[in-house]
Amino acid sequence: MAYIGTKPTIGNFQICDAISVVNGQAAYTMQVSSVNVIPESANHMLVSLNGILQKPGSSYTVSGSTITFASNLATGDVIDFIQILGNVLDLGVPSDATVTTAKLGSNAVTSAKMFSGFANGITMADQWRLTANITSTNGFITANLEQVDTNGQGTLGTAMSESSGVFSFPSTGIYLVELFAMTNANGADNIIMEIQATIDNSTYVPVAEGVNGVDGALQTLSCSSLIDVTNISNVKIKFNVQSLNTNSYIDGNTSQTNTGFTFIRLGDT
């Protein structure tokens, strides 16, 4: 939409402090409020000497905050004013609520400009699975674990690390941890699986639990928890099988994820 009336002026317009002429001197320091100022160039200035506007480049030159006239000034000469225009194409600081979505270029907002809690958004996602059936263990799962590696699957960011069933986080943050398992319960068996967490790298406590008690049929159990990882050396995760009777089992597979463990970093702690 065109402007009605005078179009707003853009730039950074400053009037330099008064300068006293020194007889026989051509160079003078430009200041605004007693602070040295540096114009964009001689062409970004209006200079009046003895009531006459001077031509930039020939009547005067500029280097840093120093203006040098083409010839030495003499007693009686008057520098009427020096106005610094700034960059006349620079909009300066936009007014509040004037920058719209349409004004932003594609991919212009980088992760460095995100607020701290969001940071880079979801920067880490990882998934592991059980590679062989569990048929008799009542306790922590300590073996037959692998990161998913089937074609078309992948990991975002730095992955979890695992040692003897202990999962360590790559960085601090709030993580969504999910457990899902294909199970077959025999008779009156209730297969219970848990996510257990420690905050001191020693004592593990259950934070989520899933149960399957359907006799003789493959069923899926699941549970999840948000884990606040304030210290990667102390906060860790294990997965526990709480009940598993004879002929009951938890299904593992190395080609597809029948029983798996998902880790997604949601944001900063």
The pLDDT tens digits for 246-261 are 788 999 999 999 999 9
- Looking at residues 195-203, what average pLDDT do you find? 98
* Residue with the larger pLDDT of the pair 99 and 84: 84
Residue ranges of domains in the chain: 14-84, 124-267
Amino acid 147: pLDDT = 95
Dist CA 257 CA 198 (whole Å): 26
Give pLDDT tens digits for 82-96: 999 876 655 566 778
Report residue 152's pLDDT band, with 50, 70 and 90 as the boundaries. confident
Q: Look at 1-15, 36-50, 126-140, 146-160 and tell me which has the smallest mean pLDDT.
A: 1-15
Q: Which fold has domain 124-267?
A: Jelly Rolls (2.60.120)
Radius of gyration for the alpha carbons in the chain, expressed in angstroms and rounded? 36
- pLDDT at position 134 is 92
Residue 128: in which H helix or E strand, if any? strand 124-130
Contact between 225 and 180 under an 8 Å Cβ cutoff? The reply is no
Percent of the chain topping pLDDT 70: 87
